[in-house]
Structure 1
Amino acid sequence: MDPATVETRLTTVLGAWAAGSVVLGGVLAARPATRAFGRQTAGWGAVDGVIAAAGARNRRRRGPTDPARLRRVLLVNAGLDVGYLVAGAALLRGDRWRGDGAAVLVQGAFLLALDGTAAAALRPTAG
């Protein structure tokens, strides 16, 4: 796949995920039983939205990111995503942070899939 297409899809999908996370998180945060999960989800969505918007803005201003550089960034992000999964799992152990932990696991899993898929699409081809 063309690297510019990969980058465009990456920011588009992240932006859509961010919007959905903010909306769903807001709804869930209004209910006592799902408040922690909702608050955490909305917070992650807000940050993801800023990242997606900045990526789209930079692409419009400067053109596509160098594919090798973008792949390196995505691989570093994938490592961070694994850390989010570990942190989310640790938060699940206690009753107080269980909702937060579940939300961190959902966000981390999505981001790992997104970053990993985009990095794989940017893998250099032999030849």
Structure 2
Amino acid sequence: MDAALVETRLTTVLGAWAAGSVVLGGVLATRPATRGFGRQTAAWGAVDGAIAAVGARNRRRRGPTAPARLRTVLLVNAGLDVGYLLAGAALLRSDRWRGDGAAVLVQGAFLLLLDGTAARALPRTTAG
């Protein structure tokens, strides 16, 4: 798949996920039983939305990111995503932070899937 198309889809999907996360998180944060999950979901959505917006703006201003650079960024992000999964799992062990931990797990799993799928979709370049 063309690298520019991969990058466009990446920011589009991330932006849609972000919007859904902010809306759902905002609703869930109003209920005591789901407050932690909602709070985390909304916060992650806000950050993801900002990242998607900056990525889309930069692509419009500078053109698409070079495939090798984009792959590197995605693989670094995938490593961070694994860290989010570990942090979410650790938070699940605490009664106070269980909802937050569950939300971090959901966000981390989605981001790992998104980053991994995008990295795999980039065209392979060969040195020669």
TM-score interval (norm. to shorter): over 0.9
Sequence identity (%): 87
Match runs of 1:6-85 below 5 Å:
6-85=6-85
Distance 2:9 2:3 in 1: 10
Contact 2:2 2:123 in 1 (8 A): no
Distance 1:71 1:53 in 2: 19
Q: TM-score with structure 1 length normalisation? A: 0.97
Letter of the 1:111 counterpart? L
C-alpha deviation, 1:125, in angstroms: 5.2
Letter of the 1:74 counterpart? L
Distance 2:37 2:75 in 1: 27
Aligned to 1:3: 3
- Structure 1 gap ranges (5+): none
Q: TM-score with structure 2 length normalisation? A: 0.97
Letter of the 2:51 counterpart? I
Runs of 4+ in structure 1 deviating by more than 6 angstroms, as ranges, are none
Aligned to 1:108: 108
C-alpha deviation, 1:94, in angstroms: 1.0
Could you report, residue by residue, the CA deviation over 1:60-79 in whole angstroms, capped at 9, with x for unpaired residues? 00000001000000000000
Could you report, residue by residue, the CA deviation over 1:31-61 in whole angstroms, capped at 9, with x for unpaired residues? 0100000000000000000000000000000
When the two structures are aligned, how many residues end up with a matched partner?
A: 127
- Structure 2 gap ranges (5+): none
Distance 1:16 1:27 in 2: 17
User: Is the deviation greater in 114-123 or in 95-104?
Assistant: 114-123
Distance 2:21 2:46 in 1: 8
